[in-house]
């Protein structure tokens, strides 16, 4: 793990120049994201799911988002459209009920709220967004507007 954070995220599929910078992402760089935390003073109530990992793939028919949300139920996740071109995925993992007789040895799973926003291009049908949550993976499909076929018309040349 590098102690020097990447400004443009981590591209696990290689280092192609086309995916180096994503102008549609609304993510904000977190300078402390990759630093190990030695402080155990945070309580379970104050911990947060900092960032749900999301893959964004564009196919000829749609934009497809896949978010890893292990342990969340569909009632704990919201998918919304803001300003007609921003896809917002948010949710909350609640703290487990504690039994006063239990002794906790380690707490590594986070709880709290998360939000991810993505600015979509103009060629999408925002009124036809579909979402499904299966086995801890949220899949959001945003269909694309069918590209108009270029029409060719002959122009009469005078003279």
Summarize pLDDT for 44-80 with one digit per residue, the tens.
Answer: 343 444 568 899 999 999 999 999 998 889 999 999 9
Q: In this structure, are residues 138 and 122 in contact, taking their beta carbons and an 8 Å threshold?
A: no
- Three-state SS at 98: coil
d(CA 58, CA 142): 9
The reported pTM is 0.61
Q: In this structure, are residues 4 and 31 in contact, taking their beta carbons and an 8 Å threshold?
A: no
Residue 146 has pLDDT above 60, yes or no: yes
């Amino acid at each position: 793990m590098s102690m020097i954070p990447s400004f443009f995220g981590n591209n696990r599929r290689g280092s192609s120049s086309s995916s180096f910078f994503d102008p549609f992402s609304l993510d904000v760089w977190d300078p402390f994201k990759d630093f190990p935390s030695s402080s155990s003073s945070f309580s379970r109530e104050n911990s947060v799911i900092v960032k749900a990992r999301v893959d964004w793939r564009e196919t000829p028919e749609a934009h497809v988002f896949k978010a890893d949300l292990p342990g969340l139920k569909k009632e704990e996740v919201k998918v919304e459209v803001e300003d007609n071109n921003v896809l917002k995925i948010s949710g909350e993992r609640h703290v487990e009920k504690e039994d006063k007789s239990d002794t906790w040895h380690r707490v590594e799973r986070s709880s709290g709220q998360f939000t991810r926003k993505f600015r979509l291009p103009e060629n999408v049908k925002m009124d036809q967004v579909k979402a499904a949550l299966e086995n801890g993976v949220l899949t959001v499909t945003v269909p694309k507007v069918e590209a108009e076929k270029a029409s060719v018309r002959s122009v009469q040349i005078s003279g």
